[in-house]
Chain A
């Protein structure tokens, strides 16, 4: 097995990985940094797919405190308040550096200041954006800066395990990578390792995420013994486009700016159904409420024949739609729809995992040497993430992780990794190759069961069933060996993917069973209201071949719910 030494190993090149690499390099250019990414550099993951934008308090009338309160109210008050505060207080500087260091140029007001648009669940229009393709601007510009700095990158290399230090010292000393192109393994020995692989609930039938995301970071962190929080909290976005069942583009987003700008959601009867669920905020209610409303309409027979509802922005005017939502309008046109001309069929779609590896505000996990940022980490968003807080989260915490790792790596020794662990990880990955098996029936079964039993509306009984079914699928996946050779063998990679997805599925289902109330994105038909005693987080950690789960009360380190003012009504768009 080949090995390579580095100071800092960054897994992933979405917002978190890119900003971490940039921040670490600029803070300590003498350090060796290595970025490993499952797909192509700057092109893999979900930051790239961000349409709407980036929440940040920049305007004189806005404040970090107001952004903070919106984030907690959106998160149903179970956010880690220190993480949420870090997010809102660092976002302004982070977004400025995206312009002044990286070269982004976000949309402007006529007076030349940065434009901020309306998103849902916010007391102020604070979403910075580049048209409706904000993520492309961010990932392109930051990738370029890393190219300029010559930071080395390994493309199409996935991490299959974290490597513990040799000799029993409790420290992560790098990761075992698999080169997807050649099928060869590379053990990277690092002082600091960052999980920035993105979460991505691709384990649901309909999903908004980049296809290669398969909870890889979470799975290897779980195996290494990291602590997790809030895994029951999976966000469904209300408006994924529905072109046909099983088609790849189905589930990808028509972004929230459409609702922010005054778009209407209608069922097959033509009713603006949000009146039934949140008459005050209507379409601009938070994602959890709007997504569940659409799902309920479909479930109760008021959806379209294919299981969708409609979004209609035609009343905003053709010119407005094409000017402000060009990316979506073009996409719809390519698929044979006219976004500006009438209703387009949409479906709720699995979008984001609020849960993940527990971190502190410096992105430290409980495992020395291991950091996490972006969707691999949990806690910032509580029970529901506000639209526009996702890319803010990945970039802010990416920067923080980069700085923290640079500081730590400067003084830390490089501990050798345990070669036995590397060999075992290699064998485990190779156990998915060398047969005639297919991962696809397993993946399809997993997606169906997660959608139906661990989805937008859950019950204890269905969750119990799901846990059993996931267990059975795990046994099947463990026995599945793909055919073909080692080089660029997608079937082999997909067996590894589905094994990881099954590991995350179990955590989601078990955590969802534990929370016997409804809160934010987690809704239980058998307990449809939040409980007063529900202000806790669920923590999980692997112990031997089993796991430990515990509830811990939320620590209101900055604001108690009863001290918060009533939620203001969002302003409307001109």
Chain B
């Protein structure tokens, strides 16, 4: 059995003030993941180590952290192939709760700002719509819909670091799937919000999010599409209405 040395960022808390990297040696077994290493370390040498996971199989999106500087899921990252030295840190751009566990509240607040929910309207609020899987609408949406809100794109995004108010890739990606969805009744309002000061136009198309997404989603493409949509619908009118705080279509009754 080979061995890997894990350097885990810890401390910086009121009751554990010294911020540091603790070292742990872990025997590496075939198909062992970073999550397995964390479980072994916490269950053995470091019972007080704080980290988070739930499903252990890439569905919940709560085990994301930085592995040798890159944001990744602990549960689906094999230790073999990381080299003998592995540095683990909490995700960037999130407040740290303790050790490796972060507070994801800021990320979900931005989902809310982007109105990241369907507002069903018309027939779609009464019956499941008849819509072919090969329709242009679903072909646009499907490559973006399987986001598990793990926060990896948000941690990878340079603009989030630059502008803490920036909605970030995941919220904009969700907004795109809604803007493209004919069932949604919040179209123009949503577009105004996500193409405002801290929205899509902040994106400089560096593709860090797309490169990092473990689901193979391209938030960059979604953001580009939002920009195109905003232009098509009259960027000037939208911008003016955003400044006034009133978006076109805001008189529409809630679904």
Which residues does A use to contact B, with CB under 8 Å?
Answer: 39-41, 43-45, 48-49, 96, 99-103, 105-114, 131, 133, 135-137, 140-141, 144-145, 147-148, 181, 210-212, 243-244, 246-249, 252, 330-331, 334-336, 438, 440, 482-485, 487-491
Contact = CB atoms under 8 A, between A and B. Distances in A.
A137 B13 CA distance: 36
B75 to A, nearest CB: 6
Q: Which 6 A-B pairs have the closest CB atoms?
A: A103-B118, A112-B130, A144-B117, A491-B47, A484-B48, A252-B57
B54 A44 contact: yes
Given A40-B60, A100-B120, A147-B117, 12 more contacts: A39-B62, A99-B128, A103-B117, A181-B98, A210-B55, A246-B36, A249-B56, A330-B216, A334-B58, A334-B76, A440-B43, A490-B42
Given A248-B36, A335-B78, A488 B62 contact: no
Interface in B74-107: 75-76, 78, 97-99, 101, 104
B78 A48 contact: no
B130 A133 contact: no
Contacts, number: 179
Interface stretch (B27-35, B198-206, B235-243): B27-35
A111 B132 contact: yes
Contact of A114 (B35, B36, B97, B128): B128
B231 interface: no
A107 B133 contact: yes
Contact of A483 (B42, B47, B62, B120): B47
Nearest to A133: B146
A566 B47 CA distance: 56
Contact of B132 (A43, A103, A112, A334): A112
Contacts of B138: 105, 108
Given A40-B62, A144-B111, A487-B15, A101 B54 contact: no
B134 interface: yes
B59 interface: yes
A210 B50 CA distance: 18
Nearest to B81: A336
B118 A133 contact: no
B169 interface: no
A100 B128 contact: yes
B118 A147 contact: no
B126 interface: yes
Given A144-B117, A144-B118, A147-B112, A484 B130 contact: no
Contact of B53 (A48, A99, A211): A211
A249 B53 CA distance: 12
A105 B126 CA distance: 14
Contacts of A487: 13, 15, 98
A109 B131 CA distance: 9
22 contacts: A39-B54, A43-B149, A101-B125, A103-B117, A103-B120, A105-B131, A110-B133, A112-B132, A113-B130, A133-B59, A140-B148, A144-B117, A147-B116, A244-B30, A244-B32, A248-B39, A249-B33, A252-B56, A438-B47, A485-B15, A488-B97, A488-B99
A323 to B, nearest CB: 11
Nearest to A335: B31
Nearest to B109: A147
B124 interface: yes
A247 B97 CA distance: 26
B183 interface: yes
Given A211-B54, A483-B48, A43 B133 contact: no
Nearest to B117: A144
Contacts of A248: 33, 35-36, 39, 53, 56, 75
Contacts of B33: 247-249
B188 interface: no
B190 to A, nearest CB: 12
Given A135-B59, A487-B15, A489-B48, A101 B132 contact: no
Contacts of B104: 40
State the main secondary structure of chain A at its contact with B.
Answer: loop
Contacts of B13: 487
A44 B55 CA distance: 8
B53 A488 contact: no
Contacts of B61: 43
Contacts of B35: 248
Among A114, A330, A482, A483, the most chain B Cβ lie within 10 Å of the Cβ of A330
Contacts of B120: 100-101, 103
A65 B55 CA distance: 35
Contacts of A212: 54
Nearest to B149: A140
Among B49, B61, B117, the most chain A Cβ lie within 10 Å of the Cβ of B117
Interface in B116-152: 116-120, 124-135, 138, 141, 145-149
Nearest to A483: B47
A41 B60 CA distance: 10
B59 A147 contact: no
Contacts of B131: 105, 108, 112
A186 to B, nearest CB: 17
A113 B35 CA distance: 40
B108 interface: yes
Contacts of A114: 128
B130 A244 contact: no
A181 B97 contact: yes
Interface string B4-48: 000000000101100000000000011111011001001100011
A193 B252 CA distance: 36
Among B39, B48, B62, B216, the most chain A Cβ lie within 10 Å of the Cβ of B48
Nearest to A212: B54
Given A483-B48, A485-B15, A96 B32 contact: no
B128 A244 contact: no
